[in-house]
Amino acid sequence: MHSLSRSVRLYRGLSRPVGRTTRPLWASVSRSLVLSSQRRIPEFSSFVARTNTCGELRSSHVGQEVTLCGWIQYRRQNIFLVLRDFHGLVQVVIPQDESAGSVRKTLCEAPLESVVQVSGTVISRPPGQENPKMSTGEIEIKVKTAELLNSCKKLPFEIKDFVKKTEALRMQYRYLDLRSSQMQYNLRLRSQMVMKMREYLCNLHGFVDIETPTLFKRTPGGAKEFLVPSREPGKFYSLPQSPQQFKQLLMVGGFDRYFQVARCYRDEGSRPDRQPEFTQIDIEMSFVDQTGIRSLIEGLLQYSWPQDKDPLATPFPSLTYAEALATYGTDKPDTRFGMEILDVSDVFRNTEIGFLQDALSKPQGTVKAMCVRDGANYFKKKDIESIRSSAADHFNEEVLPVFLKAKRNWNLPVSQFILEEQKLELIRLMGIQEEDVVLLAAGEHRRVCSLLGKLRLECADLLETRGLALRDPALFSFLWVVDFPLFLPTEGNPTELESAHHPFTAPHPSDIHLLHTEPDKVRSQHYDLVLNGSEVGGGSIRIHDAALQRDILTLLKEDQKLLSHLLQALDYGAPPHGGIALGLDRLMCLVTGASSIRDVIAFPKSFRGHDLMSSAPDAVPPEELEPYHIQVTEPAGPAERRLLTQAATRLQS
Amino acid sequence: MHSLSRSVRLYRGLSRPVGRTTRPLWASVSRSLVLSSQRRIPEFSSFVARTNTCGELRSSHVGQEVTLCGWIQYRRQNIFLVLRDFHGLVQVVIPQDESAGSVRKTLCEAPLESVVQVSGTVISRPPGQENPKMSTGEIEIKVKTAELLNSCKKLPFEIKDFVKKTEALRMQYRYLDLRSSQMQYNLRLRSQMVMKMREYLCNLHGFVDIETPTLFKRTPGGAKEFLVPSREPGKFYSLPQSPQQFKQLLMVGGFDRYFQVARCYRDEGSRPDRQPEFTQIDIEMSFVDQTGIRSLIEGLLQYSWPQDKDPLATPFPSLTYAEALATYGTDKPDTRFGMEILDVSDVFRNTEIGFLQDALSKPQGTVKAMCVRDGANYFKKKDIESIRSSAADHFNEEVLPVFLKAKRNWNLPVSQFILEEQKLELIRLMGIQEEDVVLLAAGEHRRVCSLLGKLRLECADLLETRGLALRDPALFSFLWVVDFPLFLPTEGNPTELESAHHPFTAPHPSDIHLLHTEPDKVRSQHYDLVLNGSEVGGGSIRIHDAALQRDILTLLKEDQKLLSHLLQALDYGAPPHGGIALGLDRLMCLVTGASSIRDVIAFPKSFRGHDLMSSAPDAVPPEELEPYHIQVTEPAGPAERRLLTQAATRLQS
Is pLDDT of B640 > 70? Answer: no
Q: Say which residue, A31 or A597, is predicted with more confidence.
A: A597
Task: Pick the range with the lowest mean pLDDT from A70-84, A325-339, A418-432, B266-280.
Answer: B266-280
Is pLDDT of B10 > 90? Answer: no
Taking the CA of residue B62 and the nearest CA in chain A, the distance in Å comes to 24
Q: What is the mean pLDDT of residues B301-330?
A: 97
Taking the CA of residue A278 and the nearest CA in chain B, the distance in Å comes to 9
Q: What is the mean pLDDT of residues B488-506?
A: 91
Asked if B625's CB is within 8 angstroms of A149's CB, the reply is no
Q: What does the pLDDT look like over A186-198, one tens digit per residue?
A: 999 999 999 999 9
Residue B599's pLDDT band, with cuts at 50, 70 and 90, is: very high
Of the residues A215, A219, A280, A561, the best mutation for testing chain B's interface (the one with the most B CB atoms within 10 Å of its CB) is A215
Q: Which chain B residues are closer than 8 Å to A637 by Cβ?
A: 234
pLDDT number for residue B407: 72
Q: What does the pLDDT look like over B263-273, one tens digit per residue?
A: 999 998 767 78
pLDDT number for residue B7: 32
- Report helix, strand or coil for B193: helix
DSSP class of residue B404 equals S
How many percent of chain B have pLDDT more than 90? 77
Q: Say which residue, A16 or A234, is predicted with more confidence.
A: A234
DSSP class of residue A107 equals H
Closest residue, chain A, to B36 (C-alpha)? A203
Q: Which chain A residues are closer than 8 Å to B50 by Cβ?
A: 287
Q: Which chain A residues are closer than 8 Å to B576 by Cβ?
A: 115, 149-150
Other C-beta atoms closer than 10 Å to the C-beta of B158 total 12
Cis status of the peptide bond prior to B617, with omega within 30 of 0: yes
A154 touches chain B (CB under 8 A): no
The ipTM estimated for the assembled molecules is: 0.91
Closest residue, chain A, to B116 (C-alpha)? A575
DSSP class of residue B560 equals G
pTM: 0.92
Q: What does the pLDDT look like over B333-360, one tens digit per residue?
A: 999 999 999 999 999 998 989 889 999 9
Q: Which chain A residues are closer than 8 Å to B42 by Cβ?
A: 202-206
Is pLDDT of B573 > 70? Answer: yes
pLDDT number for residue B40: 43
Q: Say which residue, A381 or B194, is predicted with more confidence.
A: B194
Give the DSSP H/E element, type plus range, for residue A183.
Answer: helix A181-198
Q: Which residues fall within 8 angstroms of residue B233, CB to CB, at 6 or more apart?
A: A632, A633, A634, A636, B629
A420 touches chain B (CB under 8 A): no
Q: What does the pLDDT look like over A369-413, one tens digit per residue?
A: 999 999 999 999 999 999 999 999 988 888 999 988 877 767 888
The DSSP secondary structure of B258-324, one letter per residue, reads EEEEEEEE---SS-TT--SEEEEEEEEEES--HHHHHHHHHHHHHHHS-TTSPPPPSSPPEEEHHHH
- Cα B194 to Cα B261: distance, rounded to the nearest angstrom: 8
Closest residue, chain A, to B175 (C-alpha)? A253
| Arithmetic mean of pLDDT over chain B | 89
Q: Which residues fall within 8 angstroms of residue A390, CB to CB, at 6 or more apart?
A: A454, A455, A458
Q: Which residues fall within 8 angstroms of residue A434, CB to CB, at 6 or more apart?
A: A376, A405, A406, A407
B547 touches chain A (CB under 8 A): no
Task: Pick the range with the lowest mean pLDDT from A308-312, B54-58, B642-646.
Answer: B642-646
Is pLDDT of B162 > 60? Answer: yes
- Cα B417 to Cα B429: distance, rounded to the nearest angstrom: 19
Which residues 617-636 of A have a C-beta within 8 angstroms of B?
A: 617-620, 624-626, 628-636
| Arithmetic mean of pLDDT over chain A | 89
A143 touches chain B (CB under 8 A): no
Taking the CA of residue B99 and the nearest CA in chain A, the distance in Å comes to 28
**How far from each other are the two terminal CA atoms of chain B, in whole angstroms?**
86
Q: Which chain A residues are closer than 8 Å to B34 by Cβ?
A: none
Closest residue, chain B, to A45 (C-alpha)? B205
Asked if A184's CB is within 8 angstroms of B234's CB, the reply is no
Strand bridging mode A235-239 / A226-229: antiparallel
Residue A644's pLDDT band, with cuts at 50, 70 and 90, is: low
Task: Pick the range with the lowest mean pLDDT from A455-459, B322-326, B492-496.
Answer: B492-496
Is pLDDT of B630 > 60? Answer: yes
pLDDT number for residue A35: 37
Residue B650's pLDDT band, with cuts at 50, 70 and 90, is: low
How many percent of chain A have pLDDT more than 70? 90
pLDDT number for residue A646: 61
pLDDT number for residue A514: 97
pLDDT number for residue B417: 87
Residue A558's pLDDT band, with cuts at 50, 70 and 90, is: confident
Give the DSSP H/E element, type plus range, for residue A385.
Answer: helix A381-395
pLDDT number for residue A639: 58
Residue A24's pLDDT band, with cuts at 50, 70 and 90, is: very low
Side by side, the strands of the sheet bearing A318-320 are: A208-209, A257-265, A277-286, A577-583, A534-541, A526-531, A478-482, A318-320
Q: Which chain B residues are closer than 8 Å to A73 by Cβ?
A: none
For residues B289 and B541, the answer to whether their CB atoms sit within 8 Å is yes
Q: Say which residue, A541 or B653, is predicted with more confidence.
A: A541
Is pLDDT of A238 > 90? Answer: yes
Which of A226, A569, A651 has the CB atom closest to B228's CB atom? Answer: A226
pLDDT number for residue A495: 86
Q: Say which residue, A557 or A26, is predicted with more confidence.
A: A557
Asked if B203's CB is within 8 angstroms of A39's CB, the reply is yes
Is pLDDT of A240 > 60? Answer: yes
Is pLDDT of A221 > 60? Answer: yes
Residue A330's pLDDT band, with cuts at 50, 70 and 90, is: very high
Is pLDDT of A180 > 90? Answer: yes
pLDDT number for residue A39: 41
Asked if A191's CB is within 8 angstroms of B203's CB, the reply is no
3-state helix, strand, coil in chain A (%, to 5): 35, 25, 40
Bridge-partner residues for B90, per DSSP? B83
For residues B537 and B501, the answer to whether their CB atoms sit within 8 Å is no
Asked if A49's CB is within 8 angstroms of B603's CB, the reply is no
Residue B29's pLDDT band, with cuts at 50, 70 and 90, is: very low
Q: What does the pLDDT look like over A32-83, one tens digit per residue?
A: 443 333 444 799 999 999 999 999 999 999 999 999 999 999 999 999 999 9
pLDDT number for residue B516: 94
The DSSP secondary structure of A387-439, one letter per residue, reads HHHHHHHHH---EEEE-SS-SS----GGGGGS-HHHHHHHHHHHT--TT-EEE
Residue B628's pLDDT band, with cuts at 50, 70 and 90, is: very high
Residue B285's pLDDT band, with cuts at 50, 70 and 90, is: very high
Closest residue, chain A, to B638 (C-alpha)? A651
Task: Pick the range with the lowest mean pLDDT from A366-370, B30-34, B108-112.
Answer: B30-34
Taking the CA of residue B620 and the nearest CA in chain A, the distance in Å comes to 7
Q: What is the mean pLDDT of residues B433-440?
A: 93
B47 touches chain A (CB under 8 A): yes
Is pLDDT of A272 > 50? Answer: yes
- Report helix, strand or coil for A236: strand
